Chains A and B, each alone.
Chain A
């Protein structure tokens, strides 16, 4: 190439007339282009490299513009003098030309007076590679990031040098880190020698990012090959497969047959089609058609056809075994260097262990977040069911009412942050009122008849659900979370948790604290506990059990409303929102143990972690996870019928 450049330099010195022709002494890029004019006009991938290199390394301010214009096929050549310009179509068949050096418009020309340069895709890719150098050291950080993104998507060996070169001048620490990572990833793929590549591989063996894993996996791509006899020399073998052990014999033989190394095994369909093609007077191979409804009869008929030389013979088992024995099936690495693939395998194994640990952490976070959702949904139920012994099947509908309250508030107050802050107390107020009304009108008359309470509240539940459907329609309503709750807290490529879930976790903790405070530190809590333990005694101490029951029920319902707002933030608000959670909520309370907030917490944690755990084992199927979880709970109840934390002695009430 150097010789070539020298030759070009010679041409440059011999062509003063060209410079004069360009009309101005201050046109370095145009001059450069004219020097390489022949190569640029030819536009062949094989010979274009010196021209591109010359432009890219010229250090001229307009070089990047030229390359971009050229790449996007906007560079045109004026036929009269052969000068290159950037052109814009200003009218049909009329183009305005701009000078590269000054950026000024040169004039408007008809299309016939111009030639468009149409670099083919190979040339464009080369220009792109050259451009990366400019973009990687572009003053605008956004451009640099774009260039890195582009490199990450589609890297080539030639990118490595400019990337390394740009490392020096990088000022932004974040981009610098990315560049370094990318340089490592490129080194392990395109590095000069095995030592450098293995060093790069080892340096990322603690990196669990998706890019690192993808790069390693790319190194380890294998293809399945067949060789006659042993594996040929010089192939980097990943594994040799024994038919019957590593892969089914039928599959192995089908591979042989596909490559034309053995006669194919005939499927029943093939046999039937062959038979159908040789029907002769109601018979095939001497067997009447009507008798061909068993595999044995078909085999006989087919054998007769083979005998007559009309059909290929089905390979025998012995022939198949022999063919398989004569060939070796192996997985070969695309990467020729065994040392590199071995290092990559080791690195990948180390990364997998790390990823596994991180996945456990991620799973635990998911479990906590699911547990807090169940806890939020169940805490109101824990009050009404656990403390008062009232089964409230409409609890799910209170959750739904809370969510719809949030939705309505958002329609009135456009600011999402304010609307959530308004919606939380308002949802509490709405469902508190609904709960108090329900207690006064229905539940009061049904104390001591838990099954009737269950049914009556179910009646209310279907009525409320249908009313919600009538008001808001059947389609899901959005409850948008404020902007600061968008996004997720990303620890690395494996562990992340969305801010909404963190917020729900915090909300659940808040309610746990609030519940404990109300029950242990306030008058209402004291009275509630008294009425729960012995209503008559409490009444004779001057406590009004009716009032206490009403307030307790209202409190439980109000918390359901707030849970509704929280759930609505990540689930779609529909009239069926509540019924999706009601069974799980009851499960939580029952599994945890009735009448004890810590039991509810334990129940929620158990169900949340269990469901996530089962989902992890069978990731594609949340339905199955729920099924198995419910079955587990049914069995769990066998062993602890009163829940995880069971009340003992007289407090248990039996």
Chain B
């Protein structure tokens, strides 16, 4: 049997890339930087951030929808990526400021004086002025970019190795990942963690040395970068899940023991996918936080990672475009509702103000999706493509209690 070309086997990839390209083009054309100003700079930033969230959702879909590991800690990697790039942004930007302010002095400053000046500026809020050890590489963009990948990747590797080795699975693993992200958040909340405690890193939207360039242009650059990262991430994820590797992953999801007995190193597969998705999440975070402008430990609280699962579940897990749709849809609708732009509903005795009630709506619709539409929004595409579910007469797919039931595992 001859194998079809990669693209032909994955028609959704081309469609997705085309949509993404069109979207980016439209936003660019209508952005403030191009003069039309139909889309405000802040909204361009929101769209750019949404693209990053789509990327981390793809990572979540890989690890949960395909490998069946419900990680409630992927936002920790997202946040760590943000922190790593934020350290360089903050350092370089503060150095520019310090050098400018010291240039007026009669005697030019020594390097040590410049560094202690930067330290004073950055760590003054937590009552310190010395650079902690973890800032050792913050002067170099290259090194810090390597750390964006290395730190979350290493954390995921160590954590995953510990967890998978002792065969922690299912809800235990979920709780353990949640504990990991909670521990990290609590650690970062301390003032002496070296990352400015609950102040977090701020002023990240100002690129060092780009003061002359308006934010409108910079926001557009980040939109392009985010779109490119999303396109690459989507392509990579499609490639990973379409081959034999992807088949093994789905096998692990549906019946881990059976795959193990067939001779596959289940732990190796899980560890690989866990680490890779952590790195993808970190890259998404590194693109997200310069657009958000600030990062603090609250961003990696356990709730954030659960929202990530919510996006993927609403979008439809087990299909990559589902994750993207879910993340984009829920986060944009959430912005819309919490931004106070949705008209309130007067009920006579009570006025439903959506800023307050949006979370209730989200929570309940999430329950409804889980109960009645396990395929999520992505499942709607099955109606168009006339995809039929195989008739298994309601039997589950395997003997394991945690195995998916027929109606949700046919994607």
The answer to whether B367 has its CB under 8 Å from any CB of chain A is yes
Shortest distance between the CB of A588 and any CB in chain B (Å): 11
- By a beta-carbon cutoff of 8 Å, the part of chain A in contact with chain B is 268, 272, 275-276, 279, 284, 289-290, 292-295, 298, 391, 393, 442, 445-446, 448-452, 454-456, 458-467, 469-470, 579, 583, 586-587, 590, 621, 623-624, 626-627, 630-631, 633-635, 637-639, 641, 653
- With A458-B306, A583-B178, A583-B179: A450-B366 Cβ-Cβ less than 8 Å: no
**Contact between chains at A295 and B112 (CB < 8 Å):** yes
**Contact between chains at A631 and B174 (CB < 8 Å):** no
Question: Which residues in B have their C-beta under 8 angstroms from that of A470?
Answer: 356-357, 360
In the complex, which of the residues B176, B187, B362 contacts A637, with contact meaning CB atoms closer than 8 Å?
B176
**Contact between chains at A454 and B70 (CB < 8 Å):** yes
Question: Which residues in B have their C-beta under 8 angstroms from that of A465?
Answer: 359
In the complex, which of the residues B113, B172, B310 contacts A641, with contact meaning CB atoms closer than 8 Å?
B172
**Contact between chains at A583 and B182 (CB < 8 Å):** yes
In the complex, which of the residues A295, A452, A590 contacts B370, with contact meaning CB atoms closer than 8 Å?
A452
In the complex, which of the residues B159, B172, B405 contacts A449, with contact meaning CB atoms closer than 8 Å?
B405
Q: How far is the CA of A284 from the CA of B108 in the complex (A)?
A: 12
The answer to whether B124 has its CB under 8 Å from any CB of chain A is no
Shortest distance between the CB of B79 and any CB in chain A (Å): 15
Q: How far is the CA of A279 from the CA of B172 in the complex (A)?
A: 70
The answer to whether B165 has its CB under 8 Å from any CB of chain A is yes
**Contact between chains at A451 and B70 (CB < 8 Å):** yes
Main secondary structure on A side of the interface with B? helix
Q: How large is the interface on B (under 10, 10 to 19, 20 to 34, 35 or more residues)?
A: 35 or more
**Contact between chains at B363 and A459 (CB < 8 Å):** yes
Question: Which residues in B have their C-beta under 8 angstroms from that of A445?
Answer: 371
In the complex, which of the residues B111, B112, B180, B190 contacts A630, with contact meaning CB atoms closer than 8 Å?
B180
Instruction: List 19 A-B residue pairs with CB atoms under 8 Å apart, sorted by A's residue number.
Output: A268-B110, A276-B105, A445-B371, A448-B401, A449-B404, A451-B70, A454-B174, A463-B367, A464-B363, A466-B363, A470-B360, A587-B175, A590-B175, A623-B190, A626-B186, A627-B184, A630-B183, A633-B179, A634-B179
Q: How far is the CA of A470 from the CA of B357 in the complex (A)?
A: 8
- With A276-B106, A448-B401, A455-B366: A466-B360 Cβ-Cβ less than 8 Å: yes
Nearest B residue (CB) for A289: B107
**Contact between chains at B187 and A627 (CB < 8 Å):** yes
Q: How far is the CA of A298 from the CA of B111 in the complex (A)?
A: 13
**Contact between chains at B112 and A638 (CB < 8 Å):** no
The answer to whether B88 has its CB under 8 Å from any CB of chain A is no
**Contact between chains at B374 and A452 (CB < 8 Å):** yes
**Contact between chains at B183 and A292 (CB < 8 Å):** no
**Contact between chains at B313 and A623 (CB < 8 Å):** no
- By a beta-carbon cutoff of 8 Å, the part of chain B in contact with chain A is 70, 105-113, 159, 162-163, 165-168, 170-172, 174-176, 178-180, 182-184, 186-187, 189-190, 302-303, 306, 309-310, 313, 356-360, 362-367, 370-371, 374, 396, 401-402, 404-405
**Contact between chains at B168 and A637 (CB < 8 Å):** yes
Q: How far is the CA of A140 from the CA of B257 in the complex (A)?
A: 82
Question: Which residues in B have their C-beta under 8 angstroms from that of A466?
Answer: 356-360, 363
Nearest B residue (CB) for A643: B172
**Contact between chains at A463 and B359 (CB < 8 Å):** yes
**Contact between chains at A637 and B172 (CB < 8 Å):** yes
Question: Which residues in A have their C-beta under 8 angstroms from that of B165?
Answer: 638
Q: How far is the CA of A176 from the CA of B107 in the complex (A)?
A: 72
**Contact between chains at A292 and B108 (CB < 8 Å):** yes
Nearest A residue (CB) for B159: A634
Shortest distance between the CB of A416 and any CB in chain B (Å): 31
**Contact between chains at B360 and A463 (CB < 8 Å):** yes
Shortest distance between the CB of B151 and any CB in chain A (Å): 16
- With A451-B174, A459-B366, A624-B190: A289-B108 Cβ-Cβ less than 8 Å: yes
**Contact between chains at B70 and A293 (CB < 8 Å):** no
Shortest distance between the CB of B15 and any CB in chain A (Å): 28
**Contact between chains at A458 and B162 (CB < 8 Å):** no
Shortest distance between the CB of B395 and any CB in chain A (Å): 13
**Contact between chains at A638 and B171 (CB < 8 Å):** no
Question: Which residues in A have their C-beta under 8 angstroms from that of B370?
Answer: 446, 452, 455-456, 459
Q: How far is the CA of A448 from the CA of B401 in the complex (A)?
A: 6
Q: 3 closest pairs, A vs B, by CB?
A: A463-B363, A459-B366, A466-B359
Interface centre among A289, A295, A470, A653 (most CB of B within 10 A): A470
Q: How far is the CA of A634 from the CA of B187 in the complex (A)?
A: 15
Question: Which residues in B have their C-beta under 8 angstroms from that of A458?
Answer: 306, 309-310, 363, 366
Q: How far is the CA of A295 from the CA of B186 in the complex (A)?
A: 41
Question: Which residues in A have their C-beta under 8 angstroms from that of B187?
Answer: 623-624, 627
Question: Which residues in B have their C-beta under 8 angstroms from that of A294?
Answer: 110-111
Question: Which residues in B have their C-beta under 8 angstroms from that of A279?
Answer: 106
**Contact between chains at A456 and B367 (CB < 8 Å):** yes
**Contact between chains at A459 and B364 (CB < 8 Å):** yes
**Contact between chains at B171 and A451 (CB < 8 Å):** yes
Shortest distance between the CB of A250 and any CB in chain B (Å): 17
Q: How far is the CA of A123 from the CA of B110 in the complex (A)?
A: 61
**Contact between chains at A391 and B171 (CB < 8 Å):** yes
**Contact between chains at B367 and A442 (CB < 8 Å):** yes
In the complex, which of the residues A295, A456, A635 contacts B371, with contact meaning CB atoms closer than 8 Å?
A456
Nearest A residue (CB) for B403: A448
Further pairs besides A295-B110, A624-B186, A627-B187: 4, Cβ < 8 Å: A456-B370, A586-B178, A638-B162, A639-B166
Question: Which residues in B have their C-beta under 8 angstroms from that of A621?
Answer: 190
Shortest distance between the CB of A116 and any CB in chain B (Å): 51
Question: Which residues in B have their C-beta under 8 angstroms from that of A289?
Answer: 106-108
Q: How far is the CA of A418 from the CA of B105 in the complex (A)?
A: 72
**Contact between chains at B162 and A635 (CB < 8 Å):** yes
Question: Which residues in A have their C-beta under 8 angstroms from that of B401?
Answer: 448, 450, 653
Q: How far is the CA of A450 from the CA of B68 in the complex (A)?
A: 12
Q: How far is the CA of A383 from the CA of B155 in the complex (A)?
A: 34
**Contact between chains at B310 and A455 (CB < 8 Å):** yes
Question: Which residues in A have their C-beta under 8 angstroms from that of B404?
Answer: 449
Q: How far is the CA of A452 from the CA of B360 in the complex (A)?
A: 19
**Contact between chains at B189 and A623 (CB < 8 Å):** yes
Question: Which residues in B have their C-beta under 8 angstroms from that of A627?
Answer: 183-184, 186-187, 190
Q: How far is the CA of A55 from the CA of B91 in the complex (A)?
A: 75
Nearest B residue (CB) for A633: B179
Shortest distance between the CB of B55 and any CB in chain A (Å): 21
